[in-house]
Structure 1
Amino acid sequence: MLCAFLLSGCGESMPRGYNGSESSDTLKPIAAPPGSDQSPPLPGTTGAAKTPDGLPALNAKGANTHLFSQKISDEADRLDRLENAVQELRNDFDAMAPAIVRLVAIEGDIQNLIKQLEVLTGNPSSMPSDITPIDSATLDEPSMPLPVPSAPPTPMDSERDGVAQPEISSTPAISTQSAPAQETIAPIGAVSPTTAPKATQPVATTGPPDATQAPLPAPATSAPPEAAPAKPGGAVVSAIRIGEHPGKIRIVLDLSSKTDFAVDLDSAEKILVVELPHAGWTAPATKTYGADQKLLSSYRTEGLGDDGSMLIFQLKANSSITYKGVMQDTGAASSRIVIDLTTP
């Protein structure tokens, strides 16, 4: 009887729907932060940032760049993606190459200035003489400016011998005003002028050049001689006229009197030279023609001998001389030189 009572007590005496656990139905899910169900954006999809001056910033590239985050099963597409990535790296390198070249050139100029300062001050260089090549590891590391230690002044030989020398400033002063000639400072290791005997012959030195010596003047370039001016009673070119005709162009030189002339055409250099050995020049010495002129580009004049002139035409295309001669004006001493050239 007791067993039957106990078994009946284990039956469904609770209300239907009650499972004996209150927390399973009453607990609510924890609120997730906004945006937690979104995946992080892929590289290159958020757009380029802006620098303080308003220009677009370059995309970050380095160890954290995911070049191949997208899974591609096609071999051809994967090769195309790899080629594009390599091409981008090459484009970036080509864009940085001029700056690297300029940086190396500036470093070389700095080394030259340091060597010149060594000659002026007599102090050894505190910077390395060789240029360290730049590799990828050096570019990745943050660069910090290194302090340049100041080298102690080198004692002079004359000071060790007990002779005082005037102190030389480490930074030479440059004066723009003319000053009287001053006594030159002897180089390091030289004997004092009061104790040195007078030399009868100059002694050649192999050391660095004296900083007080003036640089040698640059050689002057000679300008081309100007055309001869007009002389009383001589032939003079007073004007140049250009006439265009079908298939040819005519050059006319107006002269005050008849004179000798010679014409030379260089087809390879596209130059026409008119020599007037006994004629002066009063016409414009130079002139440049515009795009409407098919054959002539410009001309200039130079002197020829003592009283002659030379007219040089620069052509735009190859040409040939079809006529050259002198036309004398009727009843007057003036004449004209006529030259016909073929046009392209």
Structure 2
Amino acid sequence: MKARSPFLLRIPGKDKGKISTIIILCLWSINATACNFASPSKNMAEPPPENLRKPLVTSVSINDARELSKPATKNDGFGSQPEIVLGNTIKGKAMGLKTNLLFNEDISGEEARFDRLENAVQDIHTNFNDMKPSIQRLVSVEKDLQDLMNQLDILLRNEPISLRNRTPVNLTPTQPAVPTQTTEHKTAKPKAETKVKKSLPKVDRSKAIIRALRLGDHSGKTRLVIETTQDLKYSASLDQSENLLILSFDKGSVEFNPSGLSKKSKLINAVTTTSEGSGSLVIIELAKASDLIKQGRIKPNKDNAYHRIFIDLKR
């Protein structure tokens, strides 16, 4: 009679088939897990489609810059659904933490509730650590894109890029300058200025000529000055009703232009001249009624070679 081993398990015949099936499934799952047949490798990145592969561009034209500045579309391979890159090479869809479902399960024990909260915080921290490298790369890419946009903006406006001007540096040693001998020049004393006497024009006194009439407004009066080549007799009469001053000369011709004289005095409206026999009349129209204050003569002197008649009218 054979001895039975104490470790031998007796299995009834009706359960032997079920036990065998369970053992076969366990062995197959272990083998598939060891060979990594259950799930494809996440590290194997699919190559981009042929239509998205473009040659490397080494120079950018104005048209290329305009194309680069346009926003990306679906035709460029960008979809409307955003992707989040986890880690360095893992790609995946937006995860969604489902924070509104974290505490749906009703747990009464405080220790179990704290464990659930700690697990949720740990999951958030783990996911953030996975996304942190991608976020840092996005920040650096954004800075590079901003610099590129600034350069493209300059190219589109055709603005020249200002460069710093560098002055050339002379590398050869400079020789010391030879001192120049200075000679003292004696300055000549300035000569005393000699006063030049003003020469008066020669006056032809053989002809009786009324050559000039000057007007000037002063404090409370208006002065008329008449220049003649000879000491001519005259008469001055003031017509108060017509506001006229009439100067009558017994001889002599008028050789000055009366137009424009009224602009030199506020009391004078107009000046006209006319000849009367061998003499002349000078008619002065006044802007308002006035009185004859003073009149007189000034003989030729060192300052003026002509005879002068002055008449003062009240303003």
TM norm structure 2: 0.33
TM norm structure 1: 0.30
Q: Which has the higher helix share?
A: 2
